Amino acid sequence: MPSYKLTVAYIGTEYCGFQVQPNGPTIQGELMKAGISLFGEDVTVTGASRTDSGVHAKGQVVVLKGSKDIPARKVPMAMNVRLPDDIVIVDAQPVADLWHPRYCNHHKTYEYKIFNGAIQFPQDKKDSYHFKRQLDIGAMKEAAAKYVGTHDFESYSSSGKSTEDTIRTIYWVDITEVRPDMLSVRVCGNGFLYNMVRIMVGTLLDVGVGKIDQGTIECSLSERNRALAGHTAPAHGLTLLEIDYMDEKEKDRV
């Protein structure tokens, strides 16, 4: 059964998240429908990241398996004509049958956009959080640097499952003023707990307005207590930018 690694971009606004569920349209559901139309009934769609309702992606990775053998280079166009306008397959590569987008070693990069002016442009409403209070960006950067490294991020999870492994490694956090009124927070790590990026961003905003101090950030990483971290920033500011599979790079190098 041919397997394809698809790179998928979408605007999450109209969807109840990535994963199929009974209450409304999902990205996985739309990919299934398009896949069945192209490959026939026997299709599976497995995502690297189960993005939440309202979260966007430019580089989600999905494995699609279908029983028909279609050249990978033809898959994006053939899928795109079967998909709604707000979901696009930007790349397709053949992968081994056992290749799994979550179990293969990878880095994920997310971007969270914060509009920090008085009145938000309509062009920015769908993918940036309108945060009106004045921010101390220097303090936010200082706090963000504390996330880098391997930590127990239990305080930064909404899952509530105490059995879960909550150790994650953050490679870098980058806070940039992309415009005088727009802040971009980019985070790269080896994996993220449920709502982890949104709680990190909410916490950084709480630092930016002086509600949380640098010492509390350190405690939040040593004490496994959700109450020590800040609020959960809303979904629509978040975009899954890229998932980088290191094993493949090693292969390329050989």
Least distance CB 231 / a copy of itself (angstroms): 24
Position among 4, 5, 11, 205 found at the interface with a copy of itself (CB under 8 A): 11
Given a contact cutoff of 8 angstroms between Cβ atoms, the answer to whether 160 and 226 are in contact is: no
Q: Name the phi and psi angles at 237, rounded to 5.
A: -80, -10
User: Does the footprint of a copy of itself cover residue 180 (CB under 8 A)?
Assistant: no
Q: Closest CB to a copy of itself among 23 and 123?
A: 123
Residue with tokens 């994920």: 108
Position among 10, 18, 131, 153 found at the interface with a copy of itself (CB under 8 A): 10
Q: Closest CB to a copy of itself among 111 and 206?
A: 111
Q: Closest CB to a copy of itself among 11 and 144?
A: 11
**Per-residue binder mask for a copy of itself (CB under 8 A), 50-89, x = binder:** ------x-x-----------------xx--x----xxxxx
How far apart, in Å, are the Cα atoms of 26 and each of 12, 30, 146, 168, 197?
A: 9, 6, 35, 27, 21
Least distance CB 70 / a copy of itself (angstroms): 16
Residue with tokens 């415009």: 179
Count of Cβ atoms closer than 10 Å to residue 163 Cβ: 6
CA distance 80 to 57: 16
Least distance CB 34 / a copy of itself (angstroms): 14
Position among 9, 145, 182, 209 found at the interface with a copy of itself (CB under 8 A): 9
Q: Closest CB to a copy of itself among 4 and 10?
A: 10
Q: Which residues are known to be catalytic?
A: 52
**Which positions from 112 through 141 interact with a copy of itself, judged by CB under 8 A?**
119-123, 125, 127
DSSP secondary-structure letter at 161?
A: -
Residue 175 tokens, joined: 């806070």
Given a contact cutoff of 8 angstroms between Cβ atoms, the answer to whether 7 and 59 are in contact is: yes
Q: Given its phi and psi angles, is residue 184 left (phi above 0), alpha (psi -120 to 50 degrees) or beta?
A: beta
User: Does the footprint of a copy of itself cover residue 90 (CB under 8 A)?
Assistant: yes
Element housing 246 (H / E): helix 246-253
Give contact residues for a copy of itself (rule: CB under 8 A). Answer: 9-11, 56, 58, 76-77, 80, 85-91, 119-123, 125, 127
